[in-house]
Amino acid sequence: MSGILLLLHLLPPSAQGQKRSGWMSASQAVDHLIRFLNATTSVQQHLDKIMQHTHPYLLAQGSTRSSVHAFFIVIYKYAIPCKATCSVGALDDLFKVIKVNFPIMSLVWHTVLP
């Protein structure tokens, strides 16, 4: 996990379009990609705190950031458990969800929501 977080700090940020000026910082990129949850907090409590629909992200649950024991993909207030036990496998699953499901779901949301 630390190697992937290091890459987020080393890679240059990308522009966010013409309407939004500035760059995304590395810490903001980490928060958009991975969120950490303490082992004493349930996943349902985390899902209940979500107020708006956000992009899919990886939820890592463990006692510390260096000892994560479970990974979940959070998409539209649902937590999908990852079969992967390592961070690389969990990120691979997240990118597969984004590549396959997120464009389809965004089309559905644009037709359902105003």
Residue 112: pLDDT band with limits 50, 70, 90: very low
Supply angle C-alpha 3, 25, 39, rounded to 5. Answer: 55
For residue 45, which of 68, 65, 74 has the smallest C-alpha distance?
74
pLDDT of residue 27: 74
Summarised one tens digit per residue, pLDDT across range 69-79 is: 999 999 878 89
pLDDT of residue 107: 54
pLDDT of residue 14: 57
For residue 37, which of 3, 71, 86 has the smallest C-alpha distance?
71
Whether the per-residue pLDDT at 64 is higher than 70: the answer is: yes
Summarised one tens digit per residue, pLDDT across range 4-56 is: 666 666 665 555 555 555 566 667 777 778 889 988 889 999 888 888 767 78
pLDDT of residue 39: 87
What is this structure's pTM? 0.70
For residue 62, which of 90, 39, 35 has the smallest C-alpha distance?
39
